[in-house]
Structure 1
Amino acid sequence: MSSDHIDEVSGISTTGHEWDGIRELNNPLPRWWVWTFYITIVWAIGYTIAYPAWPLLHTATKGVLGYSSRNDVGNELSKAEAAKGKYVAAIEAKSVSEIAADDTLREFAVAAGGAAFKLNCVQCHGSGAQGSKGFPNLNDDDWLWGGKAEQIQQTITHGIRFASDPDTRLSEMPAFADIITADQIQQVSAYAASLSGAVSDQALVASGARVFAENCVACHGDNAKGNKELGAPDLTDAIWLYGSGEAAIAAQVTAPKHGVMPAWGARLGEIKVKELAVYIHSLGGGE
């Protein structure tokens, strides 16, 4: 409520309100602002009538226009599924090598496979597929079971040492502590380490080579370059799954670790496995 009091400084009447000797000037809002404010109120009421707005016990008001953002999202997803349908059908019909040779299909498969990798594989192989101790690096060209696209597909489909899949990749290195002596283990570990680096005692290498020839060539080969049919690693490179150096090699020879990879075929389906195989092969380490 206004009063007859006039502020001496501004010459504007006051409202009659006073707090601790401070009076409130009677400065009404501009008419255009007041009408804009009223219009927004009317618009808001109209909006809540036209569109879903007011929450109810188990649902919400539907709005007279029947609009639904959920339906919009569903329609967009349906359009996206329809658009990629021809690519999915082509991937289903072709082999992974044929997919990799087709620029358009390869691009689609790499994108889809990359998404599947982030969802299912990063827990072991890392976000960049770089792996870690006991989990292979998928960016290099060292593949225990072969790095061709079809071989990668086979590994993803059936896993490694996955007991519930009868077609799983299966091989196990014996625990040589039960077969050869501790001295022989030290010798053969020195020989294996010498194939890709320096060793602490060069004198052990010659005797280690004899131990290797008598016990290891059946899987790793005369040249120690491994055997992809058996999943036996190449010992002449500097890539070691469970650690490099004589001590780590001796530990593996004594009581080997045997990693397990799940069989993803039944869980992901043939199409998604193909996409994963093409994506992994595209990382640069595939043969």
Structure 2
Amino acid sequence: MVKPEDKTPENKVKPRSRQYPDSQKKMKEDVATTGHSWDGIEEYDNPMPRWWLWTFYACIIWAVGYMFLFPAWPMIKSATPGLLGYSTRADVADEIAEFEARNDVWFQQLNQTELTEIAANTDLQRFATQAGGSVFRAQCSQCHGSGAAGVQASGYPNLLDDEWLWGGTIDDIHQTITYGIRNEEHMDARYSQMPAFGQDGLLAEEEIDQVVEYVLQMSGQQHDADLAQAGFEVYDLNCVACHGPDGGGDPFVGAPALNNAVWLYGGDAESIRETIYYSRWGVMPGFVNRLRPAEIRAVAAYVHQLGGGE
């Protein structure tokens, strides 16, 4: 330790620049400063490496060229097209056209093959299943679900089971997809109407309660035996024409079976009573004007092979 009295010029601690005189002296002599100083710290004016500067200038030139050759500046309705006329939309359109051309052969074969014979052609069935599945996920999954299981008690039927309101053969499925159900778009749409027995005053409250218990009895659920016995006569007079004497339903008129555990709008007493009182009015759009004929046939083949098709 240097004592205060020993702090002569010779004994003072030398600054770092003087401890390394060669390097620091050389930097101070060869490199100019910017003139900026912060608490005695000066900023050297070191130029950027030449290779970096040339790269930077080249990037600027490239950017300016790109601005004129390719779409760059946004306008009110579009962007500047660029001198080369390049378009990513055109690339996508060309790619779609390429795949359409590849699939067109299969679509033509699909149109020329009877619906009931598609499954016999392994390659055609594979194409129809894949194409139909893609269309189904884009057009039908919003209601029937991505797996085609429907939405329970919400009026969107399950397409995986054996219960079909309008028939589950591939021809029936094709007809339903083509024209839809109870819509006002097509004269050939599936159509039926269940009376609103309560709302329209066709049945008294007591009669509705009786037929609810009878339907619960038919479907094997807990019920009031006395009310169910009285409900048999009400059912026989008002419901048997569509749903059948045993509650088996009638696909010809879209009348669901009432003697099992499959319910489109719910099978508990409250849901059944609401159905009888207000009726139901499910609507499905037709796709004859939305999809190409081959796409509709592909969707029919896809739905039919899911496991519930007749």
TM-score, length-normalised on structure 2? 0.77
Matches within 5 A, 1:217-236: 217-236=240-259
Structure 1: segments with no counterpart, 5+ residues:
1-6
Count of residues paired in the alignment: 279
**Shift of residue 148 of structure 1?**
1.5
8 Å CA contact 2:248, 2:259 repeated in 1: yes
Q: Give, as a single letter, the amino acid of the residue that structure 1 aligns with 2:117.
A: E
Q: Structure 2 CA distance, aligned partners of 1:208 and 1:172?
A: 22
Q: Does 1:126 align with 2:145?
A: yes
Q: Give, as a single letter, the amino acid of the residue that structure 2 aligns with 1:185.
A: I
Structure 2: segments with no counterpart, 5+ residues:
1-15
8 Å CA contact 1:199, 1:246 repeated in 2: no
Q: Does 1:248 align with 2:267?
A: no
**Shift of residue 231 of structure 1?**
1.1
Task: Indicate which of 186, 190, 196 corresponds to 1:175.
Answer: 196
Task: Indicate which of 75, 82, 107 corresponds to 2:101.
Answer: 82
Per-residue CA deviations over 1:226-257 (Å, capped at 9, x if unaligned) read: 11112111112212112211222122122311
**Shift of residue 48 of structure 1?**
5.4
**Shift of residue 224 of structure 1?**
1.3
Q: Structure 1 CA distance, aligned partners of 2:107 and 2:186?
A: 26
8 Å CA contact 2:216, 2:223 repeated in 1: no
Q: Give, as a single letter, the amino acid of the residue that structure 2 aligns with 1:259.
A: G
Q: Does 1:153 align with 2:181?
A: no
Q: Secondary structure at the match of 2:267?
A: coil
**Shift of residue 154 of structure 1?**
0.7
Per-residue CA deviations over 1:15-52 (Å, capped at 9, x if unaligned) read: 23324333213444444434444444455556556x42
**Shift of residue 153 of structure 1?**
0.8
Q: Structure 2 CA distance, aligned partners of 1:218 and 1:280?
A: 30
Q: In structure 2, do the counterparts of structure 1 residues 183 and 76 end up closer, same or farther at CA, with 3 Å as the change threshold?
A: same
8 Å CA contact 1:139, 1:285 repeated in 2: yes
Q: Secondary structure at the match of 2:34?
A: strand
**Shift of residue 207 of structure 1?**
2.8
Task: Indicate which of 12, 15, 28 corresponds to 2:33.
Answer: 15
Q: CA RMSD in A?
A: 3.0
**Shift of residue 138 of structure 1?**
2.2
Q: Structure 2 CA distance, aligned partners of 1:131 and 1:29?
A: 67
What corresponds to 1:142 in structure 2?
A: 163
What corresponds to 1:3 in structure 2?
A: none
**Shift of residue 190 of structure 1?**
1.1
What corresponds to 2:13 in structure 1?
A: none
Q: Give, as a single letter, the amino acid of the residue that structure 2 aligns with 1:52.
A: F
8 Å CA contact 2:192, 2:254 repeated in 1: yes
Q: Secondary structure at the match of 1:176?
A: coil
Per-residue CA deviations over 1:98-129 (Å, capped at 9, x if unaligned) read: 23433322332233333333333334333443
Q: Structure 1 CA distance, aligned partners of 2:74 and 2:150?
A: 51
Q: Structure 1 CA distance, aligned partners of 2:179 and 2:302?
A: 18
Matches within 5 A, 1:1-287: 8=17, 11=24, 12-13=27-28, 14-21=32-39, 22-44=41-63, 51-52=69-70, 55=73, 59-63=80-84, 68-132=87-151, 133-177=154-198, 178-287=201-310
Q: Structure 2 CA distance, aligned partners of 1:56 and 1:31?
A: 35
Q: Structure 1 CA distance, aligned partners of 2:250 and 2:61?
A: 78
Q: Secondary structure at the match of 1:16?
A: strand
